[in-house]
Amino acid sequence: MPRIINFSAGPSILPQTVFEQASQAVLNLNNSGLSILEISHRSSYFEPILHEAGQLVRDLLGLTDEFEVLFLSGGASTQFFMTVMNLLPEGQKAAYVDTGVWSSKAINEAKILGSIDVIASSKDANYNYIPKGYKIASDYAYLHLTSNNTIYGTQYQSFPESPIPIVCDMSSDIFSKPIEPHRFGLIYGGAQKNLGPAGVTLVIVRKDMLGKVNKTLPTMLRYETHIQNESMYNTPPVFPIYVSMLTLRWLRDLGGLTAMQKINERKAKYLYDVIDAIPFYLGHSVPEDRSRMNVTFNLEDNSLSKEFQAFCEEAGCDGLKGHKSVGGFRASIYNAMPEEGVKVLAEVMKEFALKHA
Amino acid sequence: MPRIINFSAGPSILPQTVFEQASQAVLNLNNSGLSILEISHRSSYFEPILHEAGQLVRDLLGLTDEFEVLFLSGGASTQFFMTVMNLLPEGQKAAYVDTGVWSSKAINEAKILGSIDVIASSKDANYNYIPKGYKIASDYAYLHLTSNNTIYGTQYQSFPESPIPIVCDMSSDIFSKPIEPHRFGLIYGGAQKNLGPAGVTLVIVRKDMLGKVNKTLPTMLRYETHIQNESMYNTPPVFPIYVSMLTLRWLRDLGGLTAMQKINERKAKYLYDVIDAIPFYLGHSVPEDRSRMNVTFNLEDNSLSKEFQAFCEEAGCDGLKGHKSVGGFRASIYNAMPEEGVKVLAEVMKEFALKHA
């Protein structure tokens, strides 16, 4: 059977070489005679893996020693409230920008535990743009943003000038392009897009963000716990961390984030060019805020949707169904999606439009 | 290189057939053309896996519909406080029994969030026995126990008659023998011993335990969230759940928990017989509370420890070093440890003692 081209929004495609290396390690890790699935996290087998994963995160993003890198579990959904618990002192407020379902979830969790203001939103246009030009008061503890919005296909092309540290959910575009780390107080993301398989969450925290909340938290919910124990306070998700390390190695070998950014921009252009050239396809995002990770579009004639999906699947293109809140289609073209895969889809889209012209 | 016999306390050995099936699925899941690492958790690929895993848990343990089965992340360490948040109403107390490091951790987390009494402890003898004969008042919300204590090698052979529901950390002996589900209000355990690789946590909760706490909790910390969303409120740890499902299939095919119990008792006997027959080895646990999962012992002559460890490794026996709070050695012989592996260790122990007689 030929390999499927997987456009799933996440968990999503990883590099083929990573699948091969991971498969081998499940049988025999580095010729140790042990499976990656059975090694102790306290063993000499795992410690270099965890260390290398952390170092690759630092090197790729260009993090200074001001930042701690943590591999946790629980997903971005757990970070929605851990950020508030750890970063928002009593009596202070945080600012949130609402760019869709995921930032709304972050907002709802923050409201359970603290006091926040939603200072900008693009809800008025079904989140088809990134709000800009709003005022950010300097007395907020932090500004929370969602860098890429998988459902709507919008993405910050640049982050707002902020007088306060940005706390950013980068689940769906981290490692897709260089960032300026000093603008951020905390970055978090579930692994299952650009980093690795589902089951591990990356947290990058600037040390001076911590120590301002006095409340006694459960030990597992304190960032300090995981910093002091180097992500090993409890048993970490060994295999998801291992596969993330392999994926980060692949990214380094490919040239790092600057090289990745160029590839990602080229890939996105193939699809947006089709959308812009053929009125048959209607892009959801306004052009200036278009995501390089998730290309969302509807058909001008919705009644052809089922036929279009079948036509794509016939060509091996899987996972294109859009999220119910936007409808239509979504091509997720994360780091590991090969250019060839995107080209296949672009051709399929042209062909289908021609057929129905 | 021959396969190592892995006596690690966890993450720990899984069945060889599971390694082979998991390795294949990382390349190509059920001939789908997709890796298990890239499939969407909302896809038709994953839903049957999650469902089968849950059904196997139900069938193997004999759970009625009163119980919900959840696959969460965060490890048993997260359950230490989620149990308190969800099960202990304000103004009520819970009872805890202290049988070592892991129950002490559960106790410490409970004290952060609620009011509890430690009604029994074996701390007075470095946790080398399971407390018995203590009174359990019926006005506690629940009784918290740790069924098997990996560090000390002690295990409940039977659970106390309790007028209140038992909440039990079964991380290290679940699925090793049949249990009586109706005695428990909630059972939890990290997967990385008998169930699967690190990265997923099993929670079994009796529905009538819930709904008694009024406080608004973060969404991810409410059991109801995960029940309503069938463990898919957020992206679940897909691969750890898949491997757990494979391991549960293996257990079912082997004859289920009654068959597993017999094998586990035979395996433990090989080692305890050596310890009882040769004064050279000193078991840590009192005989009546000995664990069938973790056999802990010291050498009468501690100065031979390094030589003993090297002698074991020479024979392929890995992961035997004891925990620092007990010292000496620990052979973890979870479900997947083959009888042949235990026999090798028993022979090595006899041979080493003979050499130094």
pLDDT digits (tens, 9 = 90+) for B157-182: 999 999 999 999 999 999 999 999 99
- For residue A189, which of A173, A165, A208 has the smallest C-alpha distance? A173
Q: A233 with A225: CB under 8 angstroms?
A: yes
Query: Nearest by CB to A33, which of B3, B73, B216?
Result: B3
| Cα separation, A225 vs B328, whole angstroms | 29
Of A33, A77, A233, which is closest to B4 when you measure between CB atoms? A33
For residue A158, the number of C-alpha atoms closer than 13 Å in the C-beta half-sphere is: 5
Q: Does residue A4 form part of some domain?
A: no
Nearest neighbour of A243 by CB, restricted to B4, B37, B73: B37
Cβ atoms of B172 and A213 within 8 Å: the answer is no
Q: How many helices (H) and strands (E) does chain A have?
A: 9, 14
Three-state secondary structure of A14-30? CCHHHHHHHHHHHHCHH
CA angle A338, A341, A344 (to 5 degrees): 150
Asked if B234's CB is within 8 angstroms of A75's CB, the reply is yes
B306-347 confidence digits (pLDDT tens): 999 999 999 999 999 999 999 999 999 999 999 999 999 999
Q: Indicate if the alpha-carbon torsion angle B166, B167, B173, B175 is positive or negative.
A: positive
Closest Cβ–Cβ partner in A81, A220, A240 for B237:
A240
- Residues B105 and B154 occupy one common structural domain: yes
Looking at the fold, whether A144 and A280 belong to one and the same domain comes out as no
Q: In what order do the strands lie in the sheet with B281-283?
A: B281-283, B294-299, B329-332
Determine, yes or no, domain membership for A318: yes
Q: List CB contacts (< 8 A) between A78 and chain B.
A: 74, 220, 234
- Do B154 and B230 belong together in one domain? yes
**Nearest residue of A to residue B4 by CA position?**
A33
Using the predicted structure, report yes or no on whether residue B134 has a pLDDT greater than 60. Answer: yes
Q: Which of B38, B316, B300 is closest to A191 using CA atoms?
A: B38
- Which residue segment(s) compose the domain that B272 sits in? 255-355
Q: What integer pLDDT is reported at residue B357 of this predicted model?
A: 84
Residue B275 to chain A, least CA–CA distance (Å)? 25
Among B3, B40, B198, the residue with its CB nearest the CB of A8 is B40
Catalytic pick among A173, A177, A193, A289: A193
CA–CA gap between residue B103 and residue B109 (Å, rounded): 10
In whole angstroms, what is the distance from residue B243 CA to residue B23 CA? 10
Give the model's pLDDT for residue B1: 44
Q: Both B177 and B319 in a single domain?
A: no
Q: Which two tokens stand for residue B303?
A: 């100065």
Indicate whether A52 and A134 sit together in one domain.
yes
Which of A253, A277, A311 is at the close of a domain?
A: A253
Chain A residue numbers touching B113 (CB-CB < 8 A): 218
Given CA atoms B120, B123, B124, B129 in this order, what sign does their dihedral have? Answer: positive
Distance from CA of B83 to the nearest CA of A (A): 12
Give B252's contacts (C-beta < 8 A, 6+ positions apart).
B56, B59, B60
Distance between B222 CA and the closest CA of chain A, angstroms: 12
The helix (run of H) or strand (run of E) holding residue B307 is helix B305-314
**Residue A290 belongs to domain with CATH number:** 3.90.1150.10
State whether A73 and B77 contact (CB < 8 Å). Answer: no
Residues A73 and A185 in one domain: yes
Nearest chain B Cα distance for residue A286, angstroms: 27
Residue A169 assigned ligand-binding role: yes
Annotated ligand binding at A76? The verdict is yes
Mean pLDDT, to the nearest integer, of B199-227?
97
Q: Any idea what the CATH number is for the domain that residue A47 is in?
A: 3.40.640.10
The residue length of chain A stands at 357
- What chain B residue is nearest to A334 in terms of C-alpha separation? B38
What's the DSSP call for residue A152? T
Look at A218 and B81 and tell me if their CB atoms are within 8 Å.
yes
Q: Is the dihedral of CA B240, B241, B246, B251 positive or negative?
A: positive
Instruction: Determine the 3-state secondary structure of A81 from DSSP.
Output: helix
Q: Are residues A203 and A85 in contact, defined by beta-carbon separation less than 8 angstroms?
A: no
Contact (CB<8Å) A11/B198: no
Q: Please indicate, yes or no, if residue A196 is contained in any of the structural domains.
A: yes
Which residues on A lie below 8 Å from B81 (Cβ)? Answer: 218-221
Domain shared by A68 and A178, yes or no:
yes
B303 marked as binding residue: no
Indicate if the pLDDT at residue B3 is higher than 80: no
Residues A86 and A112 in one domain: yes
* Whether A75 and B198 lie within 8 Å, measured CB to CB: no
In a domain, residue B88? The reply is yes
- Give the tokens for residue B252: 């079912």
Claim to verify: residue B248 and residue B325 sit in the same structural domain:
no
Cβ neighbours around B221 below 10 Å, total: 21
Q: Is A102 annotated as a binding residue?
A: yes
Identify the pLDDT of residue A283.
98
| Residue A197 sits in the same domain as residue A332 | no
- The Cα A124–Cα A105 span in angstroms is 17
Question: Are both B125 and B164 inside the same structural domain?
Answer: yes
- B147 and B283 belong to one structural domain: no
Q: Is the pLDDT of residue B298 over 50?
A: yes
ipTM: 0.97
Helices (H) and strands (E) in chain B, counts: 9, 14
For residue B59, give both structure tokens: 């069938």
A98 is known as an active-site residue: no
Quick one: which of B78, B296, B96 has its CA closest to B171? B78
In a domain, A1, yes or no: no
Cα–Cα distance measured from residue A287 to residue A43, given in angstroms and rounded to the nearest whole number = 50
CA distance A99 to A150: 10
Distance CA(B170)–CA(A38), nearest Å, equals: 19
The pLDDT of B188-201, averaged and rounded, is 97
Is A169 tagged catalytic? yes
Determine the angle formed by the axes of helices A75-87 and A101-113, rounding to 10 degrees: 40
A264 part of a folded domain: yes
Is A208:A86 a contact under the CB 8 Å cutoff? no
3-state helix, strand, coil in chain B (%, to 5): 40, 20, 40
- Per residue of chain A (357 residues), give pLDDT as tens: 457 999 999 999 999 999 999 999 999 999 999 999 999 999 999 999 999 999 999 999 999 999 999 999 999 999 999 999 999 999 999 999 999 999 999 999 999 999 999 999 999 999 999 999 999 999 999 999 999 999 999 999 999 999 999 999 999 999 999 999 999 999 999 999 999 999 999 999 999 999 999 899 999 999 999 999 999 999 999 999 999 999 999 999 999 999 999 999 999 999 999 999 999 999 999 999 999 999 999 999 999 999 999 999 999 999 999 999 999 999 999 999 999 999 999 999 999 999 998
- pLDDT, tens digit, 9 for 90 and up, residues B219-259: 999 999 999 999 999 999 999 999 999 999 999 999 999 99
Is residue B315 a contact partner of residue B143, using CB atoms and an 8 Å limit? Answer: no
Question: Of A231, A253, A275, which one is at a domain's C-terminal end?
Answer: A253
Q: How far apart are CA A277 and CA A345, in angstroms?
A: 15
- CA-CA distance, A350 to B80, in Å (whole number)? 55
Position B319 in a domain: yes
What pLDDT is recorded for position B2? 56
Q: What is the number of structural domains in chain A?
A: 2
3-state secondary structure of B165: coil
Q: Which of B253, B285, B304 is the last residue of a domain?
A: B253
Say if A191 falls within a structural domain. Answer: yes
Residue that the structure tokens 């074996």 belong to: B122
Q: Do A109 and B219 touch (CB under 8 A)?
A: yes
Identify whether the C-beta of residue A317 lies closer than 8 Å to the C-beta of residue A7. yes
Whether residue B97 is predicted with pLDDT greater than 80 in this model: the reply is: yes
Say what the pTM is.
0.98
